[in-house]
Structure 1
Amino acid sequence: MPYKRPGSPYWWVFITPPNGGNPIRRSTRTVDKREAEALEGKWRAQLFRQSAWGEEPERLFEEVASEFILASMKKRSISDIKQRIGKLYDFFAGKDMKTLRGQDVRAFISWRQKQGVSDSTVNRELATLQAAINYAIVQMEWQLPNPVKGRMLEEPEGRVRWLTKAEAARLIQCASQLRYGDRLADFIQLALHTGCRMNEMLKLEWSRVDMSRRLMWLDGADTKSKRRRGVPLNDVAMAAIMSRASFRATYCPHSPWVFCNKHGERLVAIREGFKSACKEAGISDFRIHDLRHTAASWMVSEGVPLADVKEVLGHSTITMTEKYAHLAPHRAREAVEKLQSHSKHIESPVRRIEDLIGRKRREKAL
């Protein structure tokens, strides 16, 4: 019979499986006792069918989600995964995943859209749901449908916000005038001239800076792709590194961190100062990560091949780099110019039309 547990408004059930397995304690997630009794009867019948006829047991969302979270604990994105699972839980809790259908996925999409979230956010949550189901299918060998596939929403092109050289100079000037502005200005300069992410720089240690070879090495633990990569340092980037080296020699000669305070402690937050610098410089809608977009945009605009930009930024695929391709119209122009170089023996249609117009005019003059 259903019973109440201290601190819970719901009815709970205690069921001993027919085959003598471990007893099951489970919340019915209802405050209605009759409904709780009906659910208990349903679950007892399911356990009997599983025991007598080998029927596949139901797999609730909670079970699928918990297995996926446990398997993802070592991922750096675990906090994001947990947050998305939480949103999915609010909708799919108590759902037998064996009965999941496309209409359930569409209902979730509609529910989230009514809450005002973006299509990209919905897609990230659906991707987490799809990954959790796939994990259960492959690793747990559970027989589950995965109707999430093919139901992702269309998203607009990724955001690419970047600065002109004049805007960047103004931002650096304003940053340098703030409290602790020297390290903020160095941070901005290094980001603009290496394309590194914020955490890649804030976690950079002096042991991974090779001044003689003008390189800094990023550890796989700190990069998004989890791969080590070397980043060349141009004159501007070297100047920023030398500025940090001078700061270290003056205040904290034993600190392992490139970006640190006077006590040698690693900087973990730089956003507020960056926001203030942007405000002073009159630059709106600009984030720290957009410094990376700016570096990529400058390289592409100067004619650097996308494959080389990919290596500098540490992208895992060229597809990620191609969002900057529109900033290199010269590549398309060079391509079409080469077309005509192979067609010199073919009379130009434009010239043919111009000749025809000329003949008509001469005929009228006569």
Structure 2
Amino acid sequence: MKWTGKAILPHFGHLRPDNVVKKTCIEYETLRRAAGKSQGTVHTELGHLRSALKFACDTRMIETAPKIWRPAKPLTDKRILSAGEARALINGAIEPHIRIALILLLGTAGRVGAILDLTWDRVDFDRGTINLRLEDSQTRKCRAVVPMNPSTRAALDVAYRAALSEHVVEYAGGQIKSIRKGFQGAVTRSKIGHVRIHDLRHTAAVTMLASGVPLEKVSQVLGHSNTAITFSTYGRYLPEHMTDAVNVLDFMNLKAHR
């Protein structure tokens, strides 16, 4: 919120709440887009302004919170890898710590922060589980306890035998803060085109759903608080889930409507 305030306050800071109208919001969008900011950034910044004003109203700092106009939230350009592309990406990782990180990202659907935080005391080989949760975590985004699949278990077994620290993803006995450079190297060597780290989580989610894994289970693996979040994020990738519904609307099929 403080970071967003640096952009918001020069435009809105001198205004009374009742002076914040659609026109001022549109003017703000025009200025920010001219400064090279994306539509998504403007959407987020104005959302923070709305939250701040709502808080001010709830705490009776102001009488009413104005309605904040925002540009539409843009659709994300998620890249979903095929199984072959996922294997090529992993094989493109020449550094052991990048390879294990990629296997975990794809094999657990975890966020990169959770994977880099993972320590060996939360890897249970006996039960076959990986606990991505932190007891003292302050993040709003939930983390899950995920079962190991065979490939992930095999990779973890190799990594554990060579471990020099408590962290699963390590380099020279130290914790890794970022794998961005190594990840881009693997992408380049794999020749699969543009991919972002977070696309691996999207790939895992869509792959599970496309394989018929129930939405409730996919939601648990992703650490979502409810299935509505999972569906709103990934439902558009699976229009076939509505096939049985629209088949009922086949009024030209006499057998279906006897």
Would you say same fold, with TM above 0.5? Answer: yes
Equivalent of 1:311 in 210, 220, 224: 220
Partner of 1:146: 65
Equivalent of 1:120 in 24, 37, 40: 40
1:157 paired with 2:75, answer yes
Matches of 2:183 and 2:210 in 1, distance apart? 25
Partner of 1:312: helix, strand, or coil? helix
Normalized against structure 1, the TM-score is what?
Answer: 0.63
Equivalent of 1:275 in 175, 178, 184: 184
Matches of 1:336 and 1:197 in 2, distance apart? 35
Q: Give 1:24-39 correspondences, 5 Å limit.
A: none
Partner of 1:84: 4
Structure 1 residue 159: Cα displacement: 2.7
When residues 269 and 233 of structure 1 are mapped into structure 2, their CA distance, relative to the original with a 3 A threshold, is same
When residues 259 and 346 of structure 1 are mapped into structure 2, their CA distance, relative to the original with a 3 A threshold, is closer
Equivalent of 2:243 in 322, 328, 333: 333
Structure 1 residue 335: Cα displacement: 4.0
Partner of 1:187: 101
Q: Check the 8 A contact 2:88/2:190 in 1, yes or no.
A: yes
Q: Check the 8 A contact 1:98/1:144 in 2, yes or no.
A: no
Question: What amino acid maps onto 1:108 in structure 2?
Answer: Y
Partner of 2:146: helix, strand, or coil? strand
When residues 345 and 338 of structure 1 are mapped into structure 2, their CA distance, relative to the original with a 3 A threshold, is closer
Write out per-residue CA displacement over residues 161-202 of structure 1, whole angstroms, 9 at most, x where no aligned residue: 1111111111111113xxxx1221111111111100000010
Q: Check the 8 A contact 1:215/1:230 in 2, yes or no.
A: yes
When residues 164 and 311 of structure 1 are mapped into structure 2, their CA distance, relative to the original with a 3 A threshold, is same
Equivalent of 1:133 in 39, 53, 71: 53
Q: Give 1:253-264 correspondences, 5 Å limit.
A: 255-263=165-173
Q: Check the 8 A contact 2:133/2:145 in 1, yes or no.
A: no
Question: What amino acid maps onto 1:136 in structure 2?
Answer: A
Partner of 1:172: 90
Structure 1 residue 315: Cα displacement: 1.7
Question: What amino acid maps onto 1:105 in structure 2?
Answer: C
Matches of 1:96 and 1:337 in 2, distance apart? 55
Partner of 2:171: helix, strand, or coil? coil
The CA RMSD over aligned residues, in Å, is 2.4
Equivalent of 1:216 in 127, 130, 137: 130
Q: Check the 8 A contact 1:100/1:145 in 2, yes or no.
A: no
When residues 227 and 328 of structure 1 are mapped into structure 2, their CA distance, relative to the original with a 3 A threshold, is closer
When residues 345 and 85 of structure 1 are mapped into structure 2, their CA distance, relative to the original with a 3 A threshold, is closer
Partner of 2:92: helix, strand, or coil? helix
Structure 1 residue 330: Cα displacement: 4.1
Write out per-residue CA displacement over residues 41-74 of structure 1, whole angstroms, 9 at most, x where no aligned residue: xxxxxxxxxxxxxxxxxxxxxxxxxxxxxxxxxx
Question: What amino acid maps onto 1:146 in structure 2?
Answer: A
When residues 138 and 174 of structure 1 are mapped into structure 2, their CA distance, relative to the original with a 3 A threshold, is same
The structure that has the greater radius of gyration is 1
Structure 1 residue 108: Cα displacement: 1.5
Question: What amino acid maps onto 1:154 in structure 2?
Answer: A
Structure 1, unaligned runs of 5 or more? 1-80, 348-366
Write out per-residue CA displacement over residues 280-306 of structure 1, whole angstroms, 9 at most, x where no aligned residue: 111222111111011112111111122
Matches of 2:125 and 2:116 in 1, distance apart? 18
Matches of 1:222 and 1:271 in 2, distance apart? 23
Normalized against structure 2, the TM-score is what?
Answer: 0.87
Partner of 1:344: 255
Partner of 1:286: helix, strand, or coil? coil
Structure 2, unaligned runs of 5 or more? none
Partner of 1:201: 115
Moved more, 310-319 or 284-293: 310-319
Q: Check the 8 A contact 1:193/1:295 in 2, yes or no.
A: yes
How many percent identity over aligned positions? 30
When residues 223 and 288 of structure 1 are mapped into structure 2, their CA distance, relative to the original with a 3 A threshold, is farther
Structure 1 residue 82: Cα displacement: 2.4
When residues 223 and 157 of structure 1 are mapped into structure 2, their CA distance, relative to the original with a 3 A threshold, is farther
Structure 1 residue 346: Cα displacement: 3.8
Q: Check the 8 A contact 2:130/2:146 in 1, yes or no.
A: yes
Q: Check the 8 A contact 1:186/1:244 in 2, yes or no.
A: yes
Aligned length: 254
Structure possessing the higher relative contact order (Cα contacts under 8 Å, 6 or more residues apart): 2
Q: Check the 8 A contact 1:200/1:222 in 2, yes or no.
A: no
Q: Check the 8 A contact 2:248/2:256 in 1, yes or no.
A: no
